[in-house]
Amino acid sequence: EALCNALVRRTVFVTGAVGMDGCPEADRGEVAFIGRSNVGKSSLVNMLTNRKSLAFTSKTPGKTQQFNYFAVNDKPELARQIRYGDDVPGTKDGDSFYIVDLPGFGFAKVPQKQRQQWSDFMEQYFEQRETLRIVFHLIDARHGPTDEDSNIMKKVSTILGSKKAQYVIILTKADKNVKGADSETNPGKVSNAVREKLMETMKANRVAYAPVILTSAETRLGRDEVWKYLRLAAEV
């Protein structure tokens, strides 16, 4: 825990992109978080960066409407930037990297046209973003993979297979599977049925090689394990 906190000295929202031309300059490593709406992406990002409200959290699914870029260990003065792109004095730390929070998929109230735009952008991002180092695919530990999760796995096996980026599956909300969850003695778990369903889906989509990490934003379960991969982006 102390090591993770030391690795995150500053974190700030940089910009939101709706297309490749809106992404920041590719001058450092990036990690992308993708998952179904209401899977707990924003809560997990807040837990990993030790911030309470860095990424917007809401009980209404589908609130993330763009690719949200957060800079970790960037210029100390960046938080004072008024408009994205303004000249800010200073230099970023050598281990600076971007966290990218992608829009949640599978939310019925989002128009089909917008969902298709997100899907097209995601494919372009996976294919063209050379500094992408890790893709974290979040799946609810209570329910296991959905059809949308299976589709993401298919895209990953096709697109990321020839790239440097690693693919990691994160099971979220593990604390919801136990009564009286706490960080010390009972941080969370996943049922055997969900675990088996996940393994079968991964094999069917040719991503059985991917590591699986059990997490909880509430009990902070899995924080150290996720950071083992986050550090790879900071080493570019």
> Is 185 or 190 the better-scoring residue by pLDDT?
190
Q: What percent of the chain stands above pLDDT 90?
A: 48
**What's this model's pTM, rounded to 2 decimal places?**
0.87
Q: What is the SS3 assignment for 30?
A: strand
> Is 44 or 83 the better-scoring residue by pLDDT?
44
Instruction: Give the DSSP H/E element, type plus range, for residue 183.
Output: none
| pLDDT band with cut points at 50, 70 and 90 for residue 37 | confident
Phi, psi at 135, each rounded to 5°: -115, 115
Q: What is the SS3 assignment for 172?
A: strand
- Measured distance CA(145)–CA(201) in Å, rounded: 7
> Is 59 or 11 the better-scoring residue by pLDDT?
11
Per-residue pLDDT at 3: 56
Q: For the segment 47-85, what is each residue's pLDDT rounded down to a tens digit?
A: 898 877 665 543 444 445 789 999 998 877 666 564 556
pLDDT reading at 89 higher than 90 = no
Burial code of 189-224, b = ≥16 C-beta within 10 A, e = fewer? bbeeebbeebeebbeebebeebebbbbbbbbbbbbe
